Structure 1
Amino acid sequence: MDLILETERLIMREMRHDDAEALFEMDKNPNVHIYLWQKPFTNIDEIHNYIDMVRNQYKTNGIGRFCTIIKETNELIGWTGIKFINDHVENGNTNFYDYGYRLNEVFWNKGFATEASKAWLDHGFNQMKIDKMNAYTHAENGASNHILEKVGMKFMENYPDEEGVIWKWWQMNNPNK
């Protein structure tokens, strides 16, 4: 993909296989997965499979999760971005745009998730002309729930997944429509 988003401190660009080490460093951390089904990655091959899946989403849907990098240091801090969900049903929905992010723990509480979220929502609404953006978070993930609220997403409802874990469903309509 040719798309690159920039903010004051961040660059967001397509995910590549040479990002695997940094992504594995993030995804093998159990703290990163506390609110993500408690299944940290145990093998770098899992990351390569994930990168293949994301790159396929770029081709199929024209969008997907992007590596997020600090401009000043060139450190990959995780991924952020818009994904078109058409491979499963979430809270009774499919074929919808989802905003999401995952950051390496050492980069938490520095405002990066908020900064990236604002850029992606702007891109989604103004460039992609998305009518409605959705997101879902573990009900107990206070930090992510706070960030989504702060960037203007509206809490819609709690819902249980197949295992009875409670999630929060968020939504934001395109402010230009």
Structure 2
Amino acid sequence: MTAEFDRDEDVFMLETERILLRGWHEDDLHDWITMNADPAVREYFPSVQSPEKSVEQALEFQDELVTNGFGLWAAETKDAVAYIDDRGKPAILPPATFIGFIGLHPLPAEVPTDISYEIGWRLTKEVWNQGLATEGARAARDYAFGIERLGHLGSYTTADNAPSRRVMEKIGMHLEREFTHPTLPDAQKDCVLYAMDRHQWELTNQGV
């Protein structure tokens, strides 16, 4: 497995004020598996995710980054991040802590749109409500439009996932459509697709 991970020299990386978006490391897997076994992290998914599926995904994401030059980057803190732990006590995540992923990924065929790529993110609950998803998603958006010159981007989630919908709106996306996902359980079938095109991005970034 080591040969697949830890290939930062082969991955285009992005950097924001507080986050490094990089290739996946084998050392990320323990925290990634733990994240996906957390019911809070998986609240808007059908179920928690098995360790085997988490490793399979990480390999897929790493392969996309190496092959395509972009994808779902592993997200790492640049500085210490303060948070409140499960016992209600103040705690600190040290610098260079893996916190999940942020990036670009092909939209599934089940989403009714001709948009090819979505912006996606999944972060550990310790860093929620600190603007890190928005910060990283903006960087992925700017890369997609500014470097890859993609024409459109989408992002979808279940209709009741208010936190993700807020991130979509904060990065300039608008509600494109509501739809019924054909393969999700009844509780997640009602979904929303947000979208943005490069022209809208260019207007937003004029003079920046």
Tell me the TM-score normalised to structure 1 length. Answer: 0.90
Structure 1 residue 125 and structure 2 residue 151: aligned?
no
| Structure 2, unaligned runs of 5 or more | 1-9, 80-94, 204-208
2:193 to 157, 160, 169: 169
- Residues 135 and 171 in structure 1, CA contact (< 8 A), matched pair in contact too: yes
In 2, distance between residues paired with 1:77 and 1:56? 19
Secondary structure of 1:152's counterpart equals coil
Secondary structure of 1:51's counterpart equals helix
Structure 1 residue 12 and structure 2 residue 21: aligned?
yes
% identical equivalent positions: 25
In 1, distance between residues paired with 2:42 and 2:147? 31
In 2, distance between residues paired with 1:6 and 1:151? 17
1:42 to 39, 47, 50: 50
> Could you say what the CA RMSD is over the residues aligned between the two structures, in angstroms?
1.8
Cα 1:4/1:58, change in 2 over 3 Å: closer
Q: Give the paired residue count.
A: 173
In 2, distance between residues paired with 1:14 and 1:124? 17
Q: CA deviation at 1:106?
A: 1.3
- TM alignment of 1:97-108, pairs within 5 A: 97-108=117-128
1:157 to 177, 193, 203: 177
Tell me the TM-score normalised to structure 2 length. Answer: 0.77
In 2, distance between residues paired with 1:126 and 1:66? 17
What stretches of structure 1 move > 3 A for 4+ residues in a row?
59-62
Q: Name the structure 2 match of 1:81.
A: 103
2:163 to 132, 143, 152: 143
Q: Name the structure 1 match of 2:41.
A: 32
Q: Name the structure 1 match of 2:3.
A: none
| Structure 1, unaligned runs of 5 or more | none
Cα 1:59/1:84, change in 2 over 3 Å: farther
Secondary structure of 2:59's counterpart equals helix
